């Protein structure tokens, strides 16, 4: 296969459906490039694979391919000297430091070492540390809030550059952070341009809306949360990338619109089963638990039956309380792993967020 | 219990300066008490940074050894903290030359240590050599020259200065080596405003002014000094450059020098940085030396912050010169002792280049720059009744101000607004000078006549500084506070009249002041030759040449008038006229051919066209610049770009005044339209598209009256929700005059409502 063939090969990836079909084809291309020792393509196809894995929602594959990519880059001077390859490497690093915390099996020490290496590489290549502080802040929000605060203000001071996530995510990050420290007004100000449609990205405005939904859910300001949920739902349905948002919507709907919650669950249950991302699965499971524990079989019998007909699944045939119990234990298991890794109880708090509204399965 | 998160938020919510520095110092003490080494280092870094950037950098210098010691004692934190440490180290060695308290041995030790650590952490030695050059540049030029060569060999490092600062550094070194051409070549990106930062181009202008002053090119020195003065304002962090300007103005323009000195006297008194104090005292000494040749005393009031004990309210200029000399010589002696080299004291005693008043040539036609000496802005306030000087003084006494005094007819008042210090001279019961006024849009001739017939008048004269729109806003805000009953005012310098309703509107909505409010455009026609000549009136108040237009006739007049107006607005907005033949506005015709609008000196411009066609001229105190538009391609379709910042200003004003439109709609059935930004959700290129719509009663929803390919989901006639942030512009039709009112003229709607 000549160079041009490989290029058209790469183009062909994008004609395939996202997710597994595309990943499978790229895996074959990697094997071929490896076999023929085509270094540039070995790296490039791995980049394609990692990118696809990051954005199709299953970051698991990205975590597997990244060490191979890093090893290639570090081993070969020609790759390090190439500006485009270095740029790609930094981009992959950016995705990985965001994705790594989503896997509880990756220890805090490992994640910290990824961050250190990422920082070092950014500095070596004369890049701004804006993206480093942003991602470090995101991780440390669940680990050490003081370090996250320090990161946040450093992130604001650093200039944006070609590795940064762009203006839209710059403001989204600010909105998210201000909400976590209860500064709603500042968050609204930061999100102003995103809400007005003047700034956007692949994940925005839905990710910003999600931040506000979570905030209002915690503050028990449900009408506000429902307003943002209305704006969010159509942008996130059927996308495995947004299983976390679906989880939050189910939590909200358990208090406000149970039929809509059931509908969302029914649509996304299949995606949940196939996802390999522990964080997204946990957040979906928390939402499902919140939803099913308030569903009464008699009241929602018709909807439950529709769901059972659509999905031939042993779990769904169970009464709602049993389904709730299943998701509670699934979520609890993941929550314990994440919280143990992070040394905090953030996710446990999330699991028990609505406890004062209803009793937990254990108490029953 | 020590809560680092709370401390971080507390510090970051504060404004920069002494309070924040103290908060950081407290956090350092708390972290020490708690024994948390990570936070001990973190808050020390914040403290050093705050003191270096926004305050007394000596405090940062004192804190650094302890910071370094903690860093070395805790290798477990090295990976997380080395980057911060190398930045703090750079700031510290960058400030060593400011302090005689640090011996040369200590300085050399610091440099060696910095070099060692730069190598350890893989940082290139570029920053090390840059700081060494900065230190030795004037004390040991040969050593500095060698290090400058080494500096250029290394690539940028993670703790390098920004690119603008580096260019400025290179220019400074090349100027010190008299390589003017190379220096100017290197600094072009900064002079073209392509690269800048918090200090650049302010400091760049200063270096150029000082260089040309040294070379006795007073025209260029005055030009760059004027630019530097505009940028540095009265900010304490630029005290050293301000001192340099005093020295330059002591030869070129002692009036300007006095003006700068009085506003910075308090900054000098509060400064603890010896080098900054030396530079300022040296400049002030030179200035008073010159002033004392012709003026024996000056008022003590503006200088009351100075640590000087002189009798009475009028201070001897000779004694003030002595005071500043003593201050400067003491520091210079100590610095020379510390550096083991006679440099600063001989520099202080060295005579300045001699300069005759004729050599100060900002006003000459030979200057290629757009900057001219500022003319004073004269505002004639029109009141319901006349005020006596006593009544005027009483009102001013009640207002917030920094200082106020009066003579027989006038009150002199200084006040601070928008970080600008403004001096006003107010004269009660003034006569209306003969002038030809131009109304602001929307004001009828009858209303203007009534305004000018107001029985009471008060003349206000001031030299305005700072950004034009902000400065003008500060003045009218102050005046509306002390003369709430005013009928309006006339800007005699710009020949514009403003009714009271507009004043109230502009005070309420700061975005209401447009660049066009600060000047007028005037046209005269020579019917025999079918030539139209145009000029701006009022740019001179901002130290800019007026712009004249040649080459227009009745066919192309509308386009030319628009170009003159927009060019003037651009210049006011950026507060500078570019150099001759440098582009002010790039424009293009329908075929995409690009051209540039520049100004030319009268002689240059006249060469380009036949002298006969230049039909009209006026006498001016300062030379004008000519806009010669004859060579613009395809004049009928020339497209001028819209200023982004002005577009943003109008959009903000439209959002703020949207409730005024909604209220006006309640009272009348007049046609209204609103321009909304609608998000293009699936478009990678455009984030949003602007569409006009007709708002429905209540202002919550609107019906689209146009559609766009970018928004396939929206069609003409669709109802959309109005989000205030998405309002970009609006119009409402006035049935009586059939004219449209825009956000700029929203005060007319308020007037109707009242």
Model confidence over B79-97: pLDDT tens digits? 889 999 999 999 999 989 9
Count CB neighbours of B15 within 10 A. 8
Question: Is B443 in the same domain as B455?
Answer: yes
**Residue A125: predicted pLDDT:** 86
B177 confidence band (pLDDT: 50, 70, 90): very high
Tokens of A304: 């439950």
**pLDDT-derived band at A2, boundaries 50, 70, 90:** very low
CB contact under 8 A, A150 and B4: yes
CB B238 within 8 Å of CB B277: no
The tokens describing B146, both together, are: 């060698």
Cβ neighbour number for residue A324 with a 10 Å cutoff: 24
Domain end (from A77, A95, A113)? A95
Tell me the angle at which helices A83-99 and A60-75 cross, rounded to the nearest 10 degrees.
140
Region label for B139, one of left (φ > 0), alpha (ψ between -120 and 50) or beta (otherwise)? alpha
Closest by alpha carbon to A291, among A314, A269, A313?
Answer: A269
pLDDT tens column, B710-730: 888 888 899 998 888 888 899
What does each C-alpha distance from B711 to A199, A234, B676, B677, B718 come to in angstroms? 16, 18, 13, 11, 12
Q: Is the same domain home to B348 and B418?
A: no
Q: Which of A46-60, A218-232, B681-695 has the lowest mean pLDDT?
A: B681-695
Closest by CA position to B4, among listed A150, A143, A181: A150
**Cross-chain CB nearest to A149 (options B9, B79, B680):** B9
Q: Range of B350's domain?
A: 229-362
pLDDT reading at B613 higher than 50: no
Percent with pLDDT over 90 in chain B: 33
Contacts of A147 in chain B (CB under 8 A): 38
Looking at CA atoms only, how far is residue B27 from chain A in angstroms? 13
Whether A126 has its CB under 8 Å from any CB of chain B: the answer is yes
Mean pLDDT of chain B: 83
B534 sits in which H/E element: strand B531-537
Cβ within 8 Å, pair A146-B156? no
- Mean pLDDT value across residues B684-694: 78
Count of domains in chain B? Answer: 4
A112-121, B292-301, B349-358, B387-396: range with highest mean pLDDT? A112-121
The length of chain A in residues reads 364
The conformational region for residue B238 under phi > 0 = left, psi -120 to 50 = alpha, else beta, is: alpha
In a domain, B529, yes or no: yes
Identify the closest residue of chain A to B123 by CA–CA distance.
A124
CA distance B237 to B202: 11
Query: Does a structural domain hold residue A3?
Result: yes
Domain final position from B637, B653, B678: B637
Q: Are A126 and B158 a contacting pair at CB < 8 A? A: yes
Dihedral over alpha carbons A102, A104, A109, A113 (to 10 degrees): -30
Q: In which residue are the tokens 């046609």 written?
A: B671
Please give the mean pLDDT across all residues of chain A: 88
CA distance A124 to chain B (A): 7
A76 lies in a domain? Answer: yes
- Please name the residue of chain A whose CA is at the shortest distance from the CA of residue B11: A153
CB B320 within 8 A of CB B308: yes
Number of domains within chain A: 2
Interchain contact A167–B (C-beta under 8 A)? no
B679 with A145: Cβ contact below 8 A: no
Asked if B459 has any chain A CB less than 8 Å from its own CB, the reply is no
pLDDT score for B312: 78
Nearest-angstrom CA–CA distance, B119 and A287: 52
Assigned token pair, B495: 């020949």
Do B617 and B651 belong together in one domain?
Answer: no
Cα–Cα distance between A197 and A205 in angstroms, integer? 8
What phi, psi does B701 have (nearest 5°)? -135, 165
Give the phi and the psi of residue B314 in degrees, each rounded to 5: -115, 120
Question: CB–CB of B52/B36 below 8 Å?
Answer: no
Locate all alpha helices (DSSP H) within B75-201, ordered by sequence.
78-94, 104-120, 126-136, 141-153, 163-176, 180-186, 188-191
- For B29, residues 6+ apart whose C-beta sits below 8 A from its C-beta are none
Looking at B601, B621, B637, which one is the last position of a domain? B637
Residue that terminates a domain, selected from B517, B552, B586: B517
CA A352 remoteness from chain centre: 21
**Residues B629 and B656 both lie in one domain:** no
Residue B631 shares a structural domain with residue B701: no
B258-282 pLDDT, tens digit per residue, is 888 888 888 899 888 899 999 999 9
Do B744 and B515 form a contact (C-beta atoms < 8 A)? no
- Domain hosting A286: range is 237-364
What was the pLDDT predicted at B433? 64
Sheet hosting strand B531-537, strand order edge to edge: B520-526, B531-537, B547-552, B625-628
B687 and A145 in contact by Cβ < 8 A? Answer: no
Domain match, B386 and B507 both: yes
Which B-chain residues 40-59 have CB contacts (< 8 A) with chain A?
42
What pLDDT score was predicted for residue B736? 67
Highest averaged pLDDT of the listed ranges A17-21, B157-161, B665-669: B157-161
pLDDT score, position B26: 94
Other Cβ atoms within 10 Å of B354 Cβ, number: 8
Asked if A126 and B688 come within 8 Å (Cβ–Cβ), the reply is: no
Do residues B624 and B602 touch, judged by C-beta distance below 8 A? yes
Domain co-membership, B576 together with B668: no
B136 three-class SS:
helix
Question: B715 to each of A197, B216, B673, B724, how far by Cα in Å?
Answer: 18, 68, 16, 21
Q: Does the residue B46 lie in any domain? A: no
């Amino acid at each position: 296969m000549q160079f041009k063939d490989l290029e058209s090969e790469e183009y062909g990836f994008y004609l395939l459906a996202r997710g597994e079909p595309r990943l499978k084809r790229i895996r074959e291309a990697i094997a071929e490039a490896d076999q023929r020792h085509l270094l540039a393509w070995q790296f490039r196809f791995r980049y394609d694979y990692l990118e696809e894995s990051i954005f199709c929602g299953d970051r698991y594959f990205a975590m597997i391919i990244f060490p191979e990519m890093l090893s290639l880059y570090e081993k070969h001077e020609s790759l390090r000297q190439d500006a485009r390859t270095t740029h790609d490497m930094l981009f992959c690093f950016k995705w990985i430091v965001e994705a790594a915390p989503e896997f509880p099996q990756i220890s805090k020490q490992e994640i910290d070492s990824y961050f250190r290496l990422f920082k070092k590489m950014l500095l070596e290549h004369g890049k701004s540390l804006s993206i480093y502080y942003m991602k470090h802040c995101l991780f440390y929000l669940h680990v050490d809030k003081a370090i996250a605060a320090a990161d946040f203000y450093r992130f604001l001071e650093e200039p944006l550059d070609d590795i940064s996530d762009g203006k839209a995510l710059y403001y989204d990050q600010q909105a998210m952070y201000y909400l976590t420290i209860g500064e709603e007004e500042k968050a609204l100000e930061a999100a102003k341009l995103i809400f007005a449609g003047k700034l956007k990205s692949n994940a925005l405005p839905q990710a910003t809306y999600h931040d506000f939904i979570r905030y209002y859910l915690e503050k028990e300001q449900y009408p506000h949360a429902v307003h943002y949920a209305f704006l969010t739902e159509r942008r996130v349905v059927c996308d495995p990338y947004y299983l976390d948002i679906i989880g939050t919507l189910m939590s909200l709907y358990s208090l406000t619109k149970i039929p809509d919650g059931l509908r969302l669950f029914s649509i996304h249950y299949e995606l949940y089963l196939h996802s390999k991302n522990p964080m997204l699965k946990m957040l979906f499971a928390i939402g499902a638990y919140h939803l099913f524990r308030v569903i009464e079989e008699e009241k929602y019998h018709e909807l439950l039956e529709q769901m059972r007909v659509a999905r031939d699944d042993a779990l769904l045939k169970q009464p709602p309380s049993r389904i709730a119990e299943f998701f509670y234990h699934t979520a609890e298991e993941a929550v314990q792993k994440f919280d143990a890794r992070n040394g905090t109880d953030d996710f446990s708090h999330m699991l028990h967020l609505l406890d004062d509204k209803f009793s937990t399965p254990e108490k029953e | 219990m020590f809560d680092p998160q709370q401390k971080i938020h507390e510090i970051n919510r504060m404004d920069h300066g002494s309070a924040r520095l103290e908060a950081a110092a407290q956090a350092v003490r708390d972290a020490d008490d708690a024994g948390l080494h990570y936070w001990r280092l973190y808050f020390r870094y914040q403290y050093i940074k705050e003191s270096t950037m926004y305050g007394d950098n000596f405090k940062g210098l004192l804190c650094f050894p302890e910071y370094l010691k903690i860093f070395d004692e805790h290798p477990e934190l090295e990976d997380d903290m080395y980057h911060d440490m190398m930045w703090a180290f750079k700031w510290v060695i960058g400030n060593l030359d400011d302090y005689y308290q640090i011996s040369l041995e200590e300085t050399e030790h610091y440099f060696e240590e910095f070099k060692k650590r730069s190598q350890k952490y893989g940082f290139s030695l570029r920053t090390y050599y840059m700081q060494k050059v900065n230190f030795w540049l004037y004390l040991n030029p040969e050593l500095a020259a060698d290090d400058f060569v080494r500096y250029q060999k290394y690539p940028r490092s993670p703790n390098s200065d920004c690119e603008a600062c580096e260019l400025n550094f290179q220019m400074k070194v090349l100027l010190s080596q008299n390589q003017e051409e190379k220096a100017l070549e290197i600094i072009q990106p900064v002079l073209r405003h392509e690269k800048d930062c918090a200090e650049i181009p302010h400091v760049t202008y200063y270096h150029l002014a000082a260089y040309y002053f040294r070379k006795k090119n007073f025209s260029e020195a005055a030009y760059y000094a004027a630019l530097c003065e505009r940028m540095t304002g009265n900010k304490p962090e630029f005290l050293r450059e301000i001192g340099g300007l005093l020295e330059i103005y002591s030869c070129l323009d002692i009036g300007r020098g006095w003006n700068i000195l009085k506003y910075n006297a308090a900054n000098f008194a509060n400064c603890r940085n010896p080098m900054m104090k030396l530079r300022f005292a040296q400049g002030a000494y030179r200035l008073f030396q010159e002033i004392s040749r012709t003026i024996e005393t000056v008022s003590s009031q503006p200088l009351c912050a100075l640590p000087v004990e002189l009798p009475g309210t009028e201070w001897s200029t000779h004694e003030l010169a002595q005071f500043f000399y003593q201050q400067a010589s003491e520091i210079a002696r100590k610095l020379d002792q510390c550096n083991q080299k006679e440099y600063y004291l001989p520099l202080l005693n060295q005579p300045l280049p001699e300069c005759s008043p004729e050599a100060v040539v900002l006003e000459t036609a030979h200057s290629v720059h757009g900057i001219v000496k500022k003319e004073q802005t004269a505002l004639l306030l029109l009141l319901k009744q006349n005020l006596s000087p006593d009544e005027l003084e009483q009102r001013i006494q009640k207002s917030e101000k920094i200082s106020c005094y009066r003579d027989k007819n006038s009150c002199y008042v200084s006040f601070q607004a928008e970080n600008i210090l403004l001096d006003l001279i107010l004269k009660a019961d003034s006569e209306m000078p003969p002038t030809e006024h131009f109304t602001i849009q929307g004001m009828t001739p009858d209303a203007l006549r009534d305004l000018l017939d107001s029985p009471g008048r008060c003349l206000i004269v001031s030299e305005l500084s700072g950004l034009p729109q902000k400065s003008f806003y500060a003045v009218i805000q102050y005046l509306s506070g002390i003369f709430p009953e005013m009928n309006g005012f006339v800007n005699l310098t710009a020949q514009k009249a403003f009714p009271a309703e507009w004043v109230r509107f502009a005070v309420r909505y700061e975005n209401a002041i447009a660049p066009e409010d600060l000047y007028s455009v005037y046209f005269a026609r020579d019917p025999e030759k079918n030539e139209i000549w145009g000029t701006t009136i009022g740019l001179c108040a901002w130290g800019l040449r007026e712009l004249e237009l040649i080459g227009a006739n009745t066919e192309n007049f509308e386009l030319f008038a628009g170009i003159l107006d927009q060019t003037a607005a651009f210049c006011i907005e950026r507060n500078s006229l570019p150099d001759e033949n440098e582009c002010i506005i790039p424009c293009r015709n329908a075929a995409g051919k690009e051209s540039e609008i520049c100004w030319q000196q009268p002689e240059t411009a006249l060469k380009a066209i036949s002298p006969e066609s230049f039909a009209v001229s006026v006498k001016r105190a300062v030379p004008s610049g000519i806009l010669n538009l004859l060579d613009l391609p395809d004049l009928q379709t020339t497209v001028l770009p819209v200023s982004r910042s002005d577009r943003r200003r109008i959009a903000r004003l439209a959002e703020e005044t949207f409730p005024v439109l909604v209220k006006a709609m309640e009272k009348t059935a007049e046609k209204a339209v609103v321009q909304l930004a609608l998000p293009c959700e699936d478009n990678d290129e455009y984030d949003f598209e602007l569409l006009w719509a007709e708002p429905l009663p209540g202002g919550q929803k609107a019906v689209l009256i146009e559609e766009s390919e970018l928004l396939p989901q929206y069609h003409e006639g669709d109802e959309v929700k109005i989000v205030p942030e998405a309002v970009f512009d609006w119009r409402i039709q006035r049935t009586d005059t059939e004219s449209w009112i825009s956000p700029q003229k929203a005060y007319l709607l308020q007037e109707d409502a009242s």
